């Protein structure tokens, strides 16, 4: 297969750097353009980006000159967007209009009826919405979105439990890593020795996004899942990896003991179309049996950062079951997720 030319918008940021790293040697995609703000435009990528990942900056990116983020300057079949919402709102449709498939991390278009909010291992079939999007908007490109990084692991775990037992209620408390706030993000004096019990706009996202992803695609629309959510979102002094403590109420609560729930999670597999893609999580869900796992520092790179890690499954005295879920926020919850979405789009012949 001829490599597909791809570009990264917001290439210098927290998520942008993950894209640069994950796209190094990608079997299908070749990075042809990197874009960022006026601050970086015209500089070599190695000068413009303050590289914060543990792995070295890939050689292919070092000498690439950072371009302005517009479709005249950046031409690629797939455009990965790691832009902030306000900027994404304006720029992403311009790229779709110019014929690019925009795989976005921003929340600007997640709520639109004709825009897929995708986790391929959960709702890969929702990618078909791009056909309706193209008809309705008259563009040859498209916009695909991935969810907020806290909704990500939570929704993967809920999908397995919903298929088996029917999820009715979810109470979730997050402990979210610093890289989720971008770079430079939260000031050190605010977060060292501290927990910040508020992340602007985050609770609303965690309360509605899983309902769209767990919904059924019917007559060209997503029928949202009938699940009640309550979320608390907190910033903690962890570099990468969002941990969420979850309690769930189930329809089939009589059959949902902790052992069967663990078995269901372990056996969960992505739909066939999303199972063998280059970025497919292997396995989709990993279940830890130790009493003190998952932990972000130890478990965030499970399945190269694409696997959702669940542990501490037990009975909940108020609802039915409770557990802990961990997911790497800039890999599965952002750049890796977008790349997985793009692979699904290609695999479904929708590029």
Ligand X SMILES: NC(=O)c1ccc[n+]([C@@H]2O[C@H](COP(=O)([O-])OP(=O)(O)OC[C@H]3O[C@@H](n4cnc5c(N)ncnc54)[C@H](OP(=O)(O)O)[C@@H]3O)[C@@H](O)[C@H]2O)c1
Listed residue (171, 142, 164) closest to 81, CA to CA:
142
Please select the residue that binds ligand X; options are 1, 2, 25, 39, rule is CB under 6 A: 39
Query: Quick one: 105 or 123, whose CB is closer to ligand X?
Result: 105
Q: In terms of Cα–Cα distance, which of 120, 194, 196, 116 is closest to 152? A: 120
The binder of ligand X chosen from 4, 13, 143, 262 (CB under 6 A): 13
What DSSP designation does 126 have? G
The SS3 of residue 192 is coil
Phi, psi of 249 (to 5 degrees): -105, 135
Exactly one of 4, 21, 71, 105 binds ligand X (CB under 6 A); that residue is 105
Nearest approach, Cβ of 174 to ligand X (angstroms)? Answer: 12
Indicate the pairing of strand 216-218 with strand 221-223.
antiparallel
Residue 330 binds ligand X (CB under 6 A): yes
Q: Shortest Cβ contact with ligand X: which residue?
A: 13
Report if residue 10 touches ligand X, rule: CB under 6 A: yes
Binding ligand X by CB under 6 A: which of 23, 79, 102, 106? 106
Closest CA to 201 of 228, 224, 231: 231
Strand-pair partners of 282: none
Using CB under 6 A as the criterion, what x/- string covers residues 146-165 for binding ligand X?
A: ---x----------------
Catalytic positions, written as ranges = 149, 242
Identify the CA nearest to 183 among candidates 8, 57, 13, 342. Answer: 13
Q: What mask of x and - would describe binding to ligand X in positions 280 to 319, judged by CB under 6 A?
A: ----------------------------------------
DSSP state of 65: B
**Closer to ligand X by Cβ: residue 11 or 285:** 11
- Is 116 near ligand X (CB under 6 A)? no
Is 206 a binding residue for ligand X by CB under 6 A? The answer is: no
Considering only CA atoms, which of 101, 118, 208, 211 is closest in space to residue 158?
211
Asked if 12 touches ligand X (CB under 6 A), the answer is yes
Work out the angle at residue 232's Cα, subtended by the Cα atoms of residues 227 and 233, and round it to the nearest 5 degrees.
Answer: 120
Residue count, binding to ligand X (CB under 6 A):
28
Q: Is 119 in the site for ligand X (CB under 6 A)?
A: no
Tell me: does residue 11 bind ligand X (CB under 6 A).
yes
CB neighbour class for 245 (10 Å; exposed up to 12, middle 13-18, buried from 19) = middle
Give least dist CB 37 to ligand X, A.
Answer: 3
Binding site for ligand X (CB under 6 A): 10-16, 36-37, 39-40, 69, 82-85, 87, 105-106, 149, 179-180, 182-183, 329-330, 333-334
């Amino acid at each position: 297969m001829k490599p597909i030319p791809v570009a990264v918008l917001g290439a210098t940021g927290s998520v942008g750097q993950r894209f640069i790293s994950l796209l190094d040697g990608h079997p299908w995609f070749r990075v042809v353009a990197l874009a960022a703000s006026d601050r970086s435009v015209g500089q070599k990528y190695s000068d413009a980006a303050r590289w914060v990942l543990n792995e070295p900056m890939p050689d292919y990116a070092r000498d690439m000159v950072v371009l302005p983020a517009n479709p005249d300057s950046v031409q690629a079949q797939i455009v990965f967007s790691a832009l902030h919402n306000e900027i994404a709102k304006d720029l992403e449709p311009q790229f779709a209009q110019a014929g690019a498939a925009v795989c976005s991390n921003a929340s600007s278009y997640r709520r639109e009826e004709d825009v897929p909010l995708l986790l391929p291992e959960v709702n890969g079939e929702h990618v078909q919405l791009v056909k309706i999007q193209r008809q309705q908007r008259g563009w040859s490109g498209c916009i695909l979105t991935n969810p907020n990084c806290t909704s990500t692991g939570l929704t993967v775990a809920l999908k397995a439990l919903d298929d088996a037992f029917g999820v009715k209620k979810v109470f979730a408390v997050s402990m979210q890593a610093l890289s989720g706030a971008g770079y430079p993000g939260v000031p050190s004096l605010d977060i060292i020795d501290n927990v910040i019990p508020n992340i602007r706009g985050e609770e609303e996202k965690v309360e509605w996004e899983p309902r769209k992803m767990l919904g059924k695609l019917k007559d060209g629309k997503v029928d949202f899942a009938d699940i009640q959510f309550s979320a608390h979102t907190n910033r903690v002094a962890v570099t990468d990896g969002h941990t969420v403590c979850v309690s769930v109420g189930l329809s089939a609560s009589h059959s949902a003991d902790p052992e069967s729930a663990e078995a269901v999670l372990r056996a969960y597999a992505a739909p066939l179309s999303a199972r063998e893609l280059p970025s497919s999580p292997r396995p989709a869900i990993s279940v830890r049996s130790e009493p003190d796992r998952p932990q972000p520092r130890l478990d965030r790179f499970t399945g190269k950062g694409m696997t959702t890690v669940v542990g501490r499954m037990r009975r909940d005295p108020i609802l039915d079951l409770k557990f802990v879920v961990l997911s790497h926020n800039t890999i599965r919850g952002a750049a890796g997720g977008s790349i997985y979405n793009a692979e699904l789009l290609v695999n479904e012949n929708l590029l």
